[in-house]
Chain A
């Protein structure tokens, strides 16, 4: 699948998710290696009124969505993959007034489960706000045997 097909697929996927529209999530970049989404800064998602920093819940939503849709970068056909679990470690608080980007990649694809990992960042992906790992179930079509090998990233 070409990178433009992956981009189109991830944009379509995102457009189905109402809460993501409420937050204003957009696809920043998508290719076979992974997905980057943008969460625009807005006052309605502030979690700390003293600093104006974004709430962890909005960052979790960004990263759950990024990890979840990153499965579309690694699978030959679109499948619905519900989240099994997700863990976020905060390196430092988000800086007020700046958009947040989420990057995620699938680092292992099996016939039943997809393992993803990613980061949330603002100015520099090498200085992330948070590290994330998430595991997703494959509910979709019977997986081709080829997917059992190292997939995604």
Chain B
């Protein structure tokens, strides 16, 4: 996929407030069911309640799915706001689980603490009921210069 395609896709998504084409780009995002919601200039990501994401008989969402959701939210956030020319590549990912991820919708928001020429640092918060009571926080680095 060329730079142009990716940038066009992002611009088209912003213009139409329809992020489906960006989600469809990545099969894993479709598998777990990630959605994007634009609220003004902010982006909130949603992981709808889905039986296939359960990883605990409680039932609770699999911790790995929560992590995958947060990692992908961070990647999409970089694509959408920071003009990353290619799909950013993950360097490392670290997550703290604070509360059980119950069988219901989960949300995530991202904060880019630094974007250099080659590496970006992103913090992600995931919650279910109140944003101030996160179920998990994560941080990761992406490599952003690669073709």
* Interface positions of A (Cβ within 8 A of B): 16-20, 22, 43-50, 54-58, 60-65, 68, 82-90, 93
Contacts and interface: CB of A to CB of B under 8 A. Distances in A.
A29 B67 CA distance: 25
Interface string B92-104: 1111110010000
A60, A68, A87: most-surrounded residue (chain B CB, <10 A): A60
B146 to A, nearest CB: 10
B140 to A, nearest CB: 9
B28 A45 contact: yes
A82 B135 CA distance: 13
Contacts of A63: 64
Interface in B77-97: 87, 89-97
Interface residues of B, number: 37
A24 to B, nearest CB: 12
A57 B53 CA distance: 12
- 8 tightest A-B CB contacts, nearest first: A57-B68, A61-B64, A55-B28, A19-B62, A87-B94, A64-B64, A60-B67, A46-B27
Contact of A45 (B31, B51, B92): B31
A97 to B, nearest CB: 14
Given A61-B64, A61-B65, A86-B97, 18 more contacts: A16-B57, A18-B51, A19-B54, A19-B64, A19-B65, A22-B31, A44-B27, A55-B68, A57-B28, A57-B67, A60-B95, A62-B64, A63-B64, A64-B64, A65-B55, A85-B95, A86-B67, A88-B94
8 contacts: A47-B72, A49-B27, A57-B32, A57-B67, A58-B68, A61-B63, A87-B95, A90-B90
Contacts of B55: 17-20, 61, 65
Contacts of B31: 22, 44-45
A64 B28 contact: no
A86 B97 CA distance: 9
A45 B69 contact: no
Contacts of B51: 18
B15 interface: no
Given A45-B31, A47-B28, A60 B96 contact: no
Contacts of B92: 87-90
Nearest to A18: B54
